[in-house]
Chain A
């Protein structure tokens, strides 16, 4: 009995120690993601088995259940997080690979990215405003179709909350990755280029990751859309908000 009590106390002590080192956040992120990815592959990449969704749910649940504060987790997870910067730079690669198509269809792609991006951001801000949400949330919702690291920067310029913008962007990505297949099938959109481009425009990197796993053309066009959305939104969103403010 006594032995068991000591074992439990030791375990708690060990957990407290481990959770306070950067090792915890990094290990938890990679191990959880690797397991979620394995399940995703085993389930034939069903949209609902999205590895980002389940990694966030499992790690978030673990932190809440054990009372581990987010900064303690982020101390380790930041080593994964910083790679978002070079990943955005790396988006030049899919753009360059498809440069002939980008040049040939450039006007159509830029126009579609512009109209689609405006529709996504505009409808989000309008709906949230109609539901009476505070301005802080509206300004954090606007850049949600842009990849998280860039969305944070845009939200800051608009006077929103960068952390909220990042969370909204991730949720938007997951929603797109989960539902794109059904939406496009219902709309009768069968071109992989159009499907990928629309998913990348609306759901940035998480949508592009999904598109890449489904079809090579869809992935390439999602990558182009993601890059275009980053450029257009960083340039236009602060201007548009200045007109309204």
Chain B
């Protein structure tokens, strides 16, 4: 079941890569694949197959970042030179991004949304 879903996801990624390349789209292949999958989920057999694989991949999403994260060891020179400043930049900008998004969304949704979330 999960294998069929994984095969479908890879197929959509490949289709996305091809379309993005052929049409010189600004989106990476997997993003085009994601856009293709949204309407395709209307079909029962696609939805059933994809649900299991998507759940597996998204539950363990953080594992998939470990290989790239370990790549930090190839930039130790840069890290030792700019490490503290880079960390300050990344921490502050991450907080700014979170705070601005939260304030804007809270303002746009109003009290009604917060209430329905708490009770629902």
Contact = CB atoms under 8 A, between A and B. Distances in A.
Interface of A: 25, 29-30, 32-33, 50-52, 55-56, 59-60, 63-64, 70, 73-74, 77-78, 80-81, 83-96, 105, 107-109, 111-113, 115-117, 119-121, 123-124, 127-128, 131, 133, 137, 141, 144-145, 148-150, 153-154, 157, 163-164, 166-173, 175-176, 179-180, 183-184, 187, 189-195, 197-199, 201-203, 205-206, 208-210, 212, 217, 223, 225, 227, 230-231, 234-235, 238
From DSSP, what is the main secondary structure of chain B's interface residues? helix
Contacts of B13: 85-86, 88-89
B38 interface: yes
From DSSP, what is the main secondary structure of chain A's interface residues? helix
A234 to B, nearest CB: 5
Interface in B6-30: 6, 9-10, 12-13, 16, 26-30
A92 B82 contact: no
B105 A230 contact: no
Contacts, number: 313
Interface of B: 6, 9-10, 12-13, 16, 26-31, 33-35, 37-38, 41, 47, 50-51, 53-55, 57-59, 61-76, 78, 82, 85-106, 108-109, 113-114, 117-118
A123 B97 contact: yes
Contacts of A154: 28
A51 B50 CA distance: 26
A115 B31 contact: no
Contact of B93 (A52, A127, A150, A199): A127
